[in-house]
Amino acid sequence: MNYINRFCAGWRDLMENKSDPRTSEWFLMSSPLPTAAICLAYVVIVKIVGPKLMENRKPYKLKNVLIFYNFLQVIFSTWLFYEASSTGWLTDYSYRCQPVDYTRSENGMRIARGCYWYYISKFTEFLDTFFFVMRKRYDQVSTLHVIHHGIMPFSVWWGVKFTPGGHSSFFGFINTFVHIVMYFYYMLAAMGPQMQKYLWWKKYLTLLQMVQFIMVMVHAFQLLLYNPCNYPIAFVWWIGAHAVMFYFLFSNFYKQAYKKKRIAAEKKKDREHKYINNNDSTKDYHYGTTQLYYSPTDKMEESYSTTRQRVFIGSKN
């Protein structure tokens, strides 16, 4: 019982005396429990409740909703990036070691509010997954996707509670820039198959995210060697560990999604060439086309559906 009392007293001291009093009264900032509960509810909805509700329903067609949603995310991310840039990271912040401004000055409060709205943005990104479930795109609701979206609000909460600004806010600064590019891509993809020819750069989005995590790792862990501004080491490990985890998750995704598919496509192409060469003298013609590419029993609807499905593989529309 004594251990429980000591833990409760220590927790109360941490939340009330060690945190930033400027943000303590803001919505959801008094305790991490509501944020943790929302994140847990998100996982249950997208992995269990949502698929169950959609089991006997047709996929929703959300083209206009997706275009509008992604457009708003571009605007929101652009504003967050502007706030992070103009209040510190592109003005007077040090990339070597930057302490938190805990004052109630105009710039100090503006930085803190920017961090808080970045935290709120992590909840709005839950809609990405909800739209996947409503459209029955369960292949997109991967482990990587759910972990990435589900853990971010809880992770960012601690930064807003204790260090709203300073060195660890570099993660939000870089991340909002990446999201501008990412949601712009998704907005174009949602417009339909006619936009696919302009989206050749999709795989570079994953590379951009991986570069982002490398930058965050280097920026955070440098303080383990030299910390002239006495930045809280706990948050160095917190931010750095998240960057390491996400780097390896995204790296694994990249290898599986692109390199293995490319190798498989090359092998398939080689097999097709060998098949054509070996059977060149025994072609079975139907309306001037070989059996390899045409069957008179094929239906136009099936051909169109297959092509359309290939066009949209890996996209968010």
pLDDT tens-digit series, residues 75-91:
999 999 999 999 999 99
Candidate list 145, 148, 179, 273, residue with the active-site label? 148
User: What pLDDT, on a 0 to 100 scale, did the predictor assign at position 277?
Assistant: 66
189-218 mean pLDDT: 91
Alpha helices (runs of H) in the chain, residue ranges in sequence order? 2-17, 33-44, 50-53, 63-84, 106-124, 126-134, 143-162, 170-190, 202-221, 233-254, 260-278, 300-311
- Whole-prediction pTM: 0.81
User: What pLDDT, on a 0 to 100 scale, did the predictor assign at position 206?
Assistant: 82
User: What pLDDT, on a 0 to 100 scale, did the predictor assign at position 315?
Assistant: 43
Residue 46 tokens, joined? 């997208």
Of 292 and 99, the structure prediction assigns the larger pLDDT to 99
User: What pLDDT, on a 0 to 100 scale, did the predictor assign at position 121?
Assistant: 97
The rounded distance, in Å, linking the Cα atoms of 160 and 152 is 12
Q: What percent of the chain has a predicted confidence (pLDDT) above 90?
A: 66
Q: Choose the weakest-confidence range: 79-88, 115-124, 184-193, 238-247.
A: 238-247
Residue 117 tokens, joined? 């709205």
CA angle 71, 130, 120 (to 5 degrees): 60
247-259 mean pLDDT: 77
Query: What is the overall mean pLDDT for the chain?
Result: 86
pLDDT at 267 over 90: no
CB atoms within 10 A of CB 287: 6
The rounded distance, in Å, linking the Cα atoms of 246 and 185 is 21
183-190 mean pLDDT: 96
Task: Reply yes or no on whether 145 is catalytic.
Answer: no
285 bridge partner residues? 290
User: What pLDDT, on a 0 to 100 scale, did the predictor assign at position 2?
Assistant: 84
> Residue 280: CB partners within 8 Å, gap ≥ 6?
none
pLDDT confidence bin for 254, thresholds 50/70/90 = confident
pLDDT confidence bin for 241, thresholds 50/70/90 = very high
pLDDT confidence bin for 284, thresholds 50/70/90 = very low
The rounded distance, in Å, linking the Cα atoms of 10 and 248 is 34
The rounded distance, in Å, linking the Cα atoms of 126 and 146 is 9
pLDDT confidence bin for 203, thresholds 50/70/90 = confident
pLDDT confidence bin for 246, thresholds 50/70/90 = confident
